[in-house]
């Protein structure tokens, strides 16, 4: 019993250490976009190529890109912006399969705990882009959506990339979840669906410009 209590107590210190490390390393990051997507996407897939193209465009504008640091879409997004202006950040996690850090990271952090890693994704993002993916990707999508919907974090663009991939899910949300009264029509205003990197860049740059304008107006208040 004493050994169990000691183990649990030390786990708290490990969690605290991950929080402090993540906050300190990413402090002052500036404008950043978090990109999620499948670890199983191959380099010859359309979505892999589009993720790389998108991150390259964001990097040219000095915007940092944050991913889970692994293969697939994460690798594509890190690769597209690596050494191109905006910083390439990987928030890696220890998993029994699929997850191995990619080599295209200016800043690489490793996490043991999912919830600490998720906090870093949300805390430092000015927008979240969700490429096609599986349970993990959908988990990140719905968690970000819930946090914005419940006003636990400031609102920012939540962008689904690939209408053909995501429309079936959104149709189910409308035809079943909304019909049952479990969602409000206004909840769908939190989501934007796009099919090209340029659309994403336009949404993000407009949001950042509006945010900076609001900040300037607040600074000028007497």
Strand partners, 113: none
Which tokens hold the place of 208? 């950042």
Instruction: Give the model's pLDDT for residue 221.
Output: 44
Q: How does pLDDT run across 172-201, given as a tens digit for each residue?
A: 999 999 999 999 999 999 999 999 999 999
Res 12: pLDDT: 83
Per the structure block, which two tokens stand in for 220?
Answer: 């000028």
Query: How high does pLDDT run on average in the chain?
Result: 88
pLDDT digits (tens, 9 = 90+) for 85-99: 789 999 988 766 656
Report whether 119 contacts 19 (CB < 8 A). yes
pTM for the model stands at 0.88
In a domain? residue 157: yes
Q: What's the whole-number mean pLDDT along residues 152-164?
A: 95
What is the rounded end-to-end Cα distance, in angstroms, of the chain? 61
In a domain, 15, yes or no: no
What is each CA distance from 123 to 41, 59, 86, 199, in whole angstroms?
26, 20, 18, 24
Say which CATH number the domain at 60 has.
3.40.50.450
For the chain, the domain total comes to 1
Angle at 85 between CA 79 and CA 91, to 5 degrees: 50
Residue 54: give the domain boundaries: 32-219
Q: Does 91 fall in a domain?
A: yes
What's residue 18's pLDDT? Answer: 84
């Amino acid at each position: 019993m004493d050994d169990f209590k000691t183990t649990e107590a030390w786990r708290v210190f490990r969690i605290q250490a991950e929080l402090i490390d993540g906050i300190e390393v990413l402090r002052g990051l500036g404008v950043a976009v978090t990109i999620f997507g499948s670890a199983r996407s191959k380099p010859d897939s359309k979505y892999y190529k589009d993720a790389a193209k998108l991150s390259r465009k964001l990097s040219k504008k000095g915007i940092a890109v944050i991913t889970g640091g692994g293969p697939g879409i994460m690798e594509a997004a890190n690769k597209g912006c690596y050494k191109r202006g905006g910083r390439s950040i990987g928030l890696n996690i220890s998993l029994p399969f699929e997850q191995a850090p990619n080599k295209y990271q200016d800043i690489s952090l490793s996490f043991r705990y999912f919830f600490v890693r998720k906090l870093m994704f949300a805390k430092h993002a000015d927008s979240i882009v969700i490429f096609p993916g599986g349970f993990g990707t959908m988990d990140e999508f719905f968690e970000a959506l819930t946090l914005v919907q419940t006003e636990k974090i400031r609102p920012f663009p939540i962008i689904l990339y690939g209408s053909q991939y995501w429309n079936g899910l959104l149709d189910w949300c409308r035809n079943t979840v909304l019909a049952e009264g479990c969602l409000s029509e206004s909840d769908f205003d939190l989501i934007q669906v796009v099919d090209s990197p340029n659309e994403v860049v336009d949404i993000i740059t407009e949001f950042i410009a509006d945010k900076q304008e609001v900040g300037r107006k607040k600074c000028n208040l007497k």
